Chains A and B, each alone.
Chain A
Amino acid sequence: MKNRSLVFGTAKYGFLWLYAGLSLFLFAWIFAGSFKNNREIFRSPFALPERLSFENYIRAWESANMHAYFWNSILVSTASVILTLAIASMVSYVIARFTFRGNFWLWGMFVIGLAIPMQSLLLPTFLKMNSLGLRDHLLSLIIVSGVFALPKSVFVLAGFMRTIPAVLEEAAIVDGCSYWRMFYKIILPLSMPGIATLAILDFIGAWNEYVYASVLISSDHLRTLPIGLANFRGEFSSEYGLICAGITITMIPVVLVYVFFQEQIVKGLVSGSVKG
Chain B
Amino acid sequence: MKKEQRLLIVTFSLPALLLYIYFFLSPVGEVMYYSFFEWDAVSSKTFVFLENFKVLISDPVFYRSLLNTLHLLAFLILLMIPLALLLAYLLYTEVRAFKFLRTVFFIPVIISSVATALMFQFIYENYFGILNTFLRSIGLGDYTRVWLSDPATVMSAVSLPLVWSHLGLIMIILLAGLQGVSTEVLEAAEMDGANEFQRLIRVIIPMISGVISLCLVLAVTTAFKQFDFILILTQGGPLHRSEVTGSYMYNQGFGMMNYGYGSAIAVSIMVIAVVVSVAVQKALNKAER
Contacts and interface: CB of A to CB of B under 8 A. Distances in A.
Contact of B91 (A16, A23, A116): A16
B214 A45 contact: no
A87 B15 contact: yes
B221 A42 contact: no
B9 A273 contact: no
B42 interface: no
Interface of A: prevailing SS: helix
Interface residues of B, number: 92
A168 interface: no
B122 A29 contact: yes
A208 interface: yes
Contacts of A198: none
B263 interface: yes
A125 B23 contact: yes
B249 A120 contact: yes
Contact of B128 (A41, A122, A204, A270): A41
Given A147-B19, A273-B173, A274-B173, A125 B27 contact: yes
A102 B227 CA distance: 36
B108 A23 contact: yes
Given A125-B23, A143-B19, A233-B118, A225 B112 contact: yes
A26 B176 CA distance: 27
B150 interface: no
B129 interface: yes
Nearest to A267: B176
B111 A100 contact: no
Given A16-B87, A120-B269, A123-B259, A230 B114 contact: yes
A33 B130 CA distance: 11
B113 A266 contact: no
Interface string A231-260: 001000000100110110011001101110
B95 interface: yes
A124 B127 CA distance: 42
Interface in B1-57: 1, 4-6, 8-9, 12-13, 15-17, 19-20, 23-28, 30-31, 34, 41
24 contacts: A16-B87, A23-B104, A23-B164, A33-B122, A45-B133, A91-B15, A98-B8, A100-B1, A113-B24, A119-B269, A120-B269, A124-B26, A124-B31, A124-B34, A128-B27, A147-B24, A183-B12, A225-B114, A226-B112, A226-B228, A227-B114, A254-B112, A257-B110, A262-B106
Interface of B: 1, 4-6, 8-9, 12-13, 15-17, 19-20, 23-28, 30-31, 34, 41, 83, 86-87, 90-91, 93, 95, 99, 101-115, 118-119, 122-123, 127-130, 133, 137, 164, 169, 172-173, 175-177, 179-180, 195-196, 211, 214, 221, 224-225, 227-228, 231-232, 246, 249-250, 253-254, 259, 262-263, 266-267, 269-270, 273-274, 277-278
